[in-house]
Amino acid sequence: MVEVNLWSGLRRFAGDQTVIPVEGRTVREMLDALTAAHPALTPFIKAGVSVAVNGQIVTDLNAPVDSDAEVYLIQRIKGG
Protein backbone atom coordinates (compact mmCIF):
# COMPACT_ATOMS: atom_id res chain seq x y z
CA MET A 1 0.00 0.00 0.00
CA VAL A 2 1.33 3.41 -1.01
CA GLU A 3 0.26 6.63 0.72
CA VAL A 4 -0.25 9.43 -1.79
CA ASN A 5 -0.12 13.01 -0.50
CA LEU A 6 -2.32 15.47 -2.42
CA TRP A 7 -1.64 19.15 -2.95
CA SER A 8 -4.30 21.38 -1.43
CA GLY A 9 -6.10 22.05 -4.73
CA LEU A 10 -6.94 18.36 -5.18
CA ARG A 11 -8.09 17.56 -1.68
CA ARG A 12 -11.68 18.69 -2.17
CA PHE A 13 -12.02 16.19 -5.04
CA ALA A 14 -10.97 13.38 -2.72
CA GLY A 15 -13.30 13.98 0.21
CA ASP A 16 -10.94 16.55 1.78
CA GLN A 17 -8.35 13.86 2.38
CA THR A 18 -4.72 14.89 2.53
CA VAL A 19 -3.25 11.39 2.27
CA ILE A 20 -4.84 8.52 0.38
CA PRO A 21 -3.61 4.93 0.67
CA VAL A 22 -3.74 3.01 -2.63
CA GLU A 23 -2.34 -0.19 -4.10
CA GLY A 24 0.18 0.09 -6.89
CA ARG A 25 3.64 -1.17 -7.78
CA THR A 26 4.26 1.46 -10.46
CA VAL A 27 3.38 5.12 -10.86
CA ARG A 28 0.73 4.18 -13.43
CA GLU A 29 -0.89 1.56 -11.17
CA MET A 30 -0.87 4.02 -8.29
CA LEU A 31 -2.57 6.75 -10.37
CA ASP A 32 -5.10 4.25 -11.74
CA ALA A 33 -5.96 3.12 -8.20
CA LEU A 34 -6.24 6.72 -7.07
CA THR A 35 -8.71 7.63 -9.83
CA ALA A 36 -10.68 4.42 -9.25
CA ALA A 37 -11.06 5.34 -5.57
CA HIS A 38 -11.78 9.02 -6.29
CA PRO A 39 -13.15 9.48 -9.84
CA ALA A 40 -13.38 13.27 -9.39
CA LEU A 41 -9.56 13.35 -9.56
CA THR A 42 -9.53 11.86 -13.07
CA PRO A 43 -9.67 15.10 -15.11
CA PHE A 44 -6.81 16.61 -13.13
CA ILE A 45 -4.63 13.54 -13.41
CA LYS A 46 -5.37 13.22 -17.14
CA ALA A 47 -4.51 16.90 -17.62
CA GLY A 48 -1.16 16.20 -16.02
CA VAL A 49 0.27 16.24 -12.55
CA SER A 50 3.80 15.94 -11.30
CA VAL A 51 4.54 12.88 -9.19
CA ALA A 52 7.32 13.09 -6.65
CA VAL A 53 8.61 9.83 -5.23
CA ASN A 54 11.04 10.13 -2.36
CA GLY A 55 11.73 13.74 -3.30
CA GLN A 56 12.38 13.11 -7.01
CA ILE A 57 9.99 14.05 -9.83
CA VAL A 58 9.18 10.87 -11.75
CA THR A 59 8.05 11.11 -15.38
CA ASP A 60 8.17 7.39 -16.25
CA LEU A 61 4.73 5.93 -15.52
CA ASN A 62 6.30 2.47 -15.40
CA ALA A 63 8.71 3.48 -12.63
CA PRO A 64 8.38 1.28 -9.55
CA VAL A 65 6.95 2.64 -6.33
CA ASP A 66 7.89 0.89 -3.09
CA SER A 67 5.18 0.55 -0.45
CA ASP A 68 7.20 2.69 1.96
CA ALA A 69 7.88 5.44 -0.60
CA GLU A 70 7.00 9.04 0.14
CA VAL A 71 4.69 10.05 -2.74
CA TYR A 72 3.30 13.50 -3.51
CA LEU A 73 1.04 14.65 -6.32
CA ILE A 74 1.83 18.23 -7.10
CA GLN A 75 0.64 20.71 -9.66
CA ARG A 76 2.58 20.32 -12.88
CA ILE A 77 5.15 23.03 -13.23
CA LYS A 78 5.59 24.26 -16.77
CA GLY A 79 8.49 26.29 -17.93
CA GLY A 80 9.67 27.82 -21.07
CATH of the domain at 16: 3.10.20.30
* % of the chain beyond a pLDDT of 70: 95
Percent of the chain with pLDDT over 90: 90
- Domain total for the chain? 1
Q: What is the pTM of this model?
A: 0.90
DSSP line for the chain: -EEEEEPHHHHGGGTT-SEEEE--SBHHHHHHHHHHH-GGGHHHHHH-EEEEETTEEE--TT-B--TT--EEEEEPP---
Q: What is the mean pLDDT of residues 48-59?
A: 94
Model confidence at 10: pLDDT above 90: yes
Range(s) of the domain holding residue 35: 2-75
| Residue 80 resides in a domain | no
